[in-house]
Each structure stands twice: as C-alpha cells, then as structure tokens.
Structure 1
Amino acid sequence: MCGALILGVSAAIDVQYDARIYSRTDVPPAEVALVFGAGLAPGGEPSPVLRQRMDTAIALYRMGKVKKLLVSGDNSDPYHDETKAMRRYAIDRGLPVRDVVGDYAGLSTWDSCYRAKEIFGVTSATLVTQDFHLPRALFVADALGIEAHGVAADPHARHLSRYQPRELLARVMAVALVLLRPPAKILGPKEDLDGTVTTKG
C-alpha cells in the first residue's frame, strides 16, 4: 500500500509537470536560469553532472533565453564550495560576472527555490537540472510562487531514472515540505539579481 502511494505521488507529479519541460530551443524566455548544485569532483571542479547543468545554462544565456544565471549550491564546507565553482565555471567561459549570481545557501531543492523567491525576488525562472530531478524541482518552484519551466541537462536520459528509490522518496519529502512550508535553513538579507542588498535579514 505504501509503495503504491509513493508511486502514485510520483506519477501525479510527472503528469502535472512534464508539459513544462522544454528543449533549449523551445523553452520560453525567462528572467533567470536557476541552476542547482550537484557536487564537485576532486580538485574542486564541478562534477560531470554539474558540468552538464552549467553547460546547459550557459547555452541558454548565449541563446538569449535567460538574462542571468542564479547558481545555487552548498558552501557550508570551505573545501566544498559548489557555488564558487559554478560561478567560476561560467565566468571562465565568457559570461559577464554581473550576470552570474551566486546563492551560497542552496542546501537542497527546497532551499534553492525558497531562497530564489524570498531572498532574490525571482518570480519567473528556467530550472536547469537532470531529467529525473526536473518534475520535483518544478513542483517545488510552483508551490513557492515561481513561474517556472525546465530544461533537462541530459535531454536523452530515460525517464526510468525518475523512479529510482532515492528520487521516489525525495518526491514524497517534497510534498511534505510543500504542505509544511518551512523556511530555508539559511535566510539572510534580501538581494536583487544585480547583487544589491535591498533589506536586512
């Protein structure tokens, strides 16, 4: 019974949000690409998964689909600063510093979306992550009031990866978070996407 419920929740999220997943060329323009962190390789460079996300977001910027990148990762460990690595990756590939905004407290999908809305004032975004993660990320963003579309960093991936046990449980947790609405673990002063602090935390 529990397994059937989990599968039902996951299927419902897929049905609702698959229509908001686009190719790079077809995605509607948005204010910003929200790029979720995905770990670092030895030496502090983005992991292969994170490079896929960053390359996709950089392509969207160059195509004029987004005006800025909001790179949201975990910097809680000085030896594992996802956000710094993500910003450096984009800037090293020619993106203007002012257009690559760092969120250093994106500790989870919920926190990244919550902070995008409440700290950075994002109201519309293109979410950039792997296919398995996109429906859940869109569900969370939608619940938090962000008008979001998604672009898969791995467009040829099989949808079966959405039904791995870890992702199934993560979707159930996402439903719980939407119902309970806890604030992000770390808040702080509000900023705009130009890096200007607008109110104190």
Structure 2
Amino acid sequence: MKDVMHELQPAPHRPLWKRLLLPAGRGKIVTVTGAALIIAFLIWAAFFLWTIGTAAGTPDLQAADVGIVLGASMWGDSPSPGLRERLDEAVRQYRRGKVNKLILTGGLDDPSFKYTEAEGMQRYLLDRGIPESDMVLESKATSTYENLLYSQRIMEEKDWASAIIITHTFHGPRAAEIADYLGYEKPQLALIKSRVLSPWKHHSREVLAYVKWQLDRLQLTVL
C-alpha cells in the first residue's frame, strides 16, 4: 500500500525560474546560446555608444566641391533645433570657403507639413545670407542611405567629385560607412556635437539605426 501511495504522489516541480532559464536537454543549449548572443550584443552596443560618443570630424578639412547637409526633423515650417545645428555648421564651412555649394537633402516629414526638410533648410539658410544659387535641394530622401544616394546622383549630374558631409557626431560613423558603401571618393566629415539633443535618446536610437543599416546592407548585397 505504501508503494502505491508513493507512485500516486506528483513529481516534485523545479522552481519556475529554473524551468524558464534552465530547461533540460536541447532547450538548455538554446537558452544558453540566446543568453550569449544577448550579452554579445550588449557588449557591442556599449562599444558602439562609446564610438559615436567620441566620433570626430575630418581634421584639417580641405576645400571640396560641395557640402552635403543631411536632413533631420522639421518642426512645422521650421527646422528643429537639431537640424539648425547642422545648418549652422554648413554656414560656417561655407563662409570659411571649404565649400561653395550645398546639397540640402531630406524629404517630407509629415503630409501636413508645408515644406520638406530640404525646403525648410533652404529657407533657414537664405535668412543667413547663403545665395539660392549655391544651394541644390534633394526633397525625396527618407533615410541616411537615400540622403547620400540621391546626393551622389546630383554630384554626378553636376560633375562634382569631392564632398564634405555635414551632420552630428553621433551620426557621423554610420554616414561615413554608407558613403563608403556607395563609393564616395574619400568624403570628409564636418561633425558637430549637439547642445540641444538628448544624448541618451539619440545615441540609443543611433544604435538601432546602425543595426537596421546593417540589415539593409545585407539585403542590398544579396539583391
């Protein structure tokens, strides 16, 4: 009778955390592999955050055929504070004689907006004395890849060979990698460290944007 009662007793359950994190057999291998991948990603993300946090522009910028101002968000009819920082840097490089022409690249942020990023940038620069004849608008791009791809096509049409890419420090490494992928001839970088954008928000977003770029790059390579 004692043996029968023993057989009827339920098997002891492992604690829930052990069942979730340390499943038996093949599941355990999968879980350990997944954990290792997560740890590897976190280490890479930390390194990448350090990289974009310490990025610097090209030292001793040389004069180039054109400056490419990469678009950022509009606030209604006006450039956002972050975009104004890029535009102010473009004005500095223009007045220093490093560039005589500017490509302003960026599409429409919202269907309700009156101006594309490129058009909003042009309005801002006109108010600061940059001649309209020295600005070329590219108003279709919706990503950094498209910014640089469409700007490259403009450069080919205008017979411009050299460029200075103007953007923020945290954006510089990805922009440089995309330019290299597209075959730009040794593009220079004029980078500014933002005083108005939240480092935590925009640096973290840049990590995800870089991951997306790598996936897009893989797809472009396969196709």
Cα deviation, residue 148, structure 1: 1.4
Unaligned runs of 5+ residues in structure 1 are 183-201
Is 2:130 the counterpart of 1:91? no
Is 2:184 the counterpart of 1:151? no
Q: Any idea what the Cα deviations from partners look like across 1:14-59, whole Å, max 9, x if unmatched?
A: 87xx887236xx22222211111111224x1111101100010011
The residue aligned with 2:95 is 62
Q: Any idea what the Cα deviations from partners look like across 1:125-145, whole Å, max 9, x if unmatched?
A: 211111111111111011101
Unaligned runs of 5+ residues in structure 2 are 1-36
Is 2:152 the counterpart of 1:103? no
Q: Distance in 2 between matches of 1:165 and 1:3?
A: 17
Which one is further off, 74-83 or 121-130? 74-83
Is 2:62 the counterpart of 1:28? yes
Cα deviation, residue 75, structure 1: 2.5
> AA paired with 1:118?
R
Is 2:164 the counterpart of 1:126? yes
1:169 to 192, 205, 208: 208
Look up the SS of the partner of 1:152 in the other structure: strand
Is 2:78 the counterpart of 1:39? no
Cα deviation, residue 119, structure 1: 4.3
Cα deviation, residue 83, structure 1: 1.1
Cα deviation, residue 8, structure 1: 3.2
Q: Distance in 2 between matches of 1:163 and 1:47?
A: 14
Which one is further off, 87-96 or 49-58? 87-96
Structure that is richer in helix per residue:
2
Please, what TM-score do these two structures have when normalized by structure 2? 0.67
When Rg is computed on C-alpha atoms for both structures, the one with the higher figure is: 2
The residue aligned with 1:196 is none
Which one is further off, 47-56 or 78-87? 78-87
Cα deviation, residue 165, structure 1: 3.0
Change in 2 beyond 3 A, CA 1:98/1:14:
farther
Q: Percent identity?
A: 31
Change in 2 beyond 3 A, CA 1:13/1:111:
farther
Look up the SS of the partner of 1:66 in the other structure: coil
RMSD: 3.1
Q: Distance in 2 between matches of 1:51 and 1:144?
A: 27
Change in 2 beyond 3 A, CA 1:19/1:27:
farther
Look up the SS of the partner of 2:108 in the other structure: coil
Cα deviation, residue 150, structure 1: 1.1
The residue aligned with 1:8 is 44
